[in-house]
């Protein structure tokens, strides 16, 4: 299949396929007699794996590691668990930030301008906790 068909079947642009090739995530196939590069079903599966991994939040570096490991289930599970732990930490951090911002809104809405710590940027972190 051509690069255009490969890209279309996986819902990405041709430039995305080329980008993944430059990053070493996808191989650059040889040219067929027609002069076009011919992509295989294995190339399509690899592109699908890359796409799904990106949708799950894996970085290109992490995907490269997974592809280099031969996509073994144990490696994928370990990477997914690490990603889950990182996301859980981000959620905790965002929840704390959300509470701080709610308190800031309350102070600024119900106090006088002197109470609104946004006017004193050097005290925002300490006052909103």
Given a contact cutoff of 8 angstroms between Cβ atoms, the answer to whether 123 and 114 are in contact is no
Given a contact cutoff of 8 angstroms between Cβ atoms, the answer to whether 25 and 52 are in contact is no
Each residue's pLDDT tens digit in the chain (129 positions)? Answer: 999 999 999 999 999 999 999 999 999 888 888 888 899 999 999 999 999 999 999 999 999 988 876 667 888 888 889 999 999 999 999 999 999 888 888 878 887 666 665 555 554 455 444
Tokens read off for 108: 């600024």
* 84 alpha carbon, distance to own chain's centre: 13
């Amino acid at each position: 299949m051509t690069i255009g068909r490969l890209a279309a079947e996986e819902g990405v642009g041709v430039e995305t396929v080329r980008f993944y090739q430059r990053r070493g995530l996808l191989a650059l196939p040889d040219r067929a007699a027609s002069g076009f590069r011919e992509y295989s079903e294995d190339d399509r599966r690899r592109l699908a794996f890359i796409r799904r991994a990106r949708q799950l939040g894996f970085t290109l570096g992490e995907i490269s590691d997974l592809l280099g490991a031969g996509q073994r289930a144990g490696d994928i599970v370990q990477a997914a668990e690490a990603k889950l732990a990182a996301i859980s930490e981000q959620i905790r951090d965002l929840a704390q930030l959300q509470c701080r911002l709610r308190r800031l809104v309350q102070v600024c809405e119900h106090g006088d301008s002197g109470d609104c710590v946004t006017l004193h940027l050097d005290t925002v972190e300490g006052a909103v906790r």
